[in-house]
Amino acid sequence: MRRASNVTRMENFGVPKIAFMFLIKGSLPLAPLWEKLFKGHERLYTIYVHSDPSYKSSAELNSGVFRGRMIPSKKVEWGKFNMIEAELRLLANALQDVSNQRFVLLSETCIPLFNFSTIYSYLINSTQSYVQAYDKSGPAARGRYKHRLGPNITVQDWRKGSQWFEMDRELAIKVMSDQRYFLSFKGACLKSACYADEHYLPTWMNMNAGQRNSNRSITWVNWSKGGCHPTKYDRIHITEGQEKPNVDESKENDDNPKGDEQEDNPTGNEQDVQNIDNNEISMNYVSTKTQWNRKDVIVNETFANSIAIDIVSDENDVEPRTVEECRRRSIWPKWKEAMLAELKSLEKREVFGKITLTPADF
């Protein structure tokens, strides 16, 4: 990690890449889905995996794009500060490759909702990083602040947010260079669980990132049922032909002792949220005609597994590779409408700066 903190930003790094950093408990059951996503884009991404050392020989971590991508890892415990150390371990390894310009933290239950080209273009051209950071009263937020953090960190500085982050290279280097806040957190969290994975980076970003942080995560987690862990779904929650868990998402629980993240509303306008058409088409829509509505579907391990099996087993769908191919599809008008709506939203929020085009040979 010390070596990573001395890394400087280099402008002549060649083709910019996205570092996908998997912080997982054991194996990677959704590896086939990620293989599908990464196929054909080998020079635009890198992969780093941190898992329990006992899973070093697991089949999923020793085949395909994940072969040889497990970094030196240590056992991680829920709620303990070693979760932050694992995140920084991933970041330190990813920073050694100067081509890595964006860094995404993922878990074994994460699934991509867009194809690689969309993800790459969105992140590489974004002028912001995506770390959720908010201030909230109550035992699950301000109530976790420890006075041992002072005077470096006051309760007014204290923030909470999702563990799953995305950031640019410049901020990643600054995070790795931090000793002041890192040691304050480590000292305060040694004798008791302080859930640093939900507070260290949000607090650091609040104190150091300013307007460069969007204050939202690009990963969605369902905490609506309350409790110490996010909602988990099994096969019994999925009805045949409809990937919709049989749960009520409308409840909010501010007494959640571990997390109380709510789905992001960038505009802050409730009416805007209600008016958005949240229909999403599947990656193999051409052959399956499958659609979902994001208001109804909860993305979870079971949902991800069903999609992964669907995509991997579908031999009829050929994803369009060019805009011309897209235009020849019957669904093109809806694709075009969706793209224009997304671009208008991004322009309104001034998300993008100077555009970095994907190299022609990709």
Mean pLDDT across the chain: 78
Number of H helices, E strands in the chain: 12, 6
CA dihedral 218→9→210→19, nearest 10 degrees, is 10
Q: What angle do CA 271, 226, 194 make, to 5 degrees?
A: 110
Tell me 168's DSSP state. Answer: E
Buried/exposed 199-236: b ≥16 CB within 10 Å, e otherwise: bbbbbbbbbebeeebbbbbbbbbbbbebeeebbebeee
Residue 247 CB: number of other CB atoms within 10 A? 15
- For 191-224, the pLDDT digits (tens) are 777 788 899 999 999 999 888 899 899 887 777 7
Query: How many residues are recorded in the chain?
Result: 362
Most confident of 7-16, 148-157, 311-320: 148-157
Are 102 and 169 spatial neighbours (Cβ–Cβ below 8 Å)? yes
The larger pLDDT score, comparing residue 31 to residue 227, is at 31
Side-chain half-sphere CA neighbours of 153 within 13 A? 30
Q: Is 215 helix (H, G, I), strand (E, B) or coil?
A: coil
pLDDT value, residue 344: 83
pLDDT confidence bin for 268, thresholds 50/70/90: very low
Most confident of 63-72, 137-146, 260-269: 63-72
What does pTM read for this prediction?
0.65
**Residues with Cβ within 8 Å of residue 267, at least 6 apart in sequence:** 273
pLDDT value, residue 257: 41
**Residues with Cβ within 8 Å of residue 320, at least 6 apart in sequence:** 326, 329
Which class in CATH covers the domain with range 2-212?
alpha beta
Say yes or no to pLDDT of 248 above 50: no
- For 178-190, the pLDDT digits (tens) are 999 999 998 888 7
The larger pLDDT score, comparing residue 217 to residue 13, is at 217
The larger pLDDT score, comparing residue 295 to residue 259, is at 295
**Residues with Cβ within 8 Å of residue 118, at least 6 apart in sequence:** none
CA neighbor of 106 nearest in space, from 98, 94, 124: 94
pLDDT value, residue 319: 67
Q: What is the rounded average pLDDT of the residues 281-309?
A: 60
The proportion of the chain whose per-residue pLDDT surpasses 70, expressed as a percent, equals 69
- For 94-112, the pLDDT digits (tens) are 999 999 999 999 999 888 8
pLDDT confidence bin for 343, thresholds 50/70/90: confident
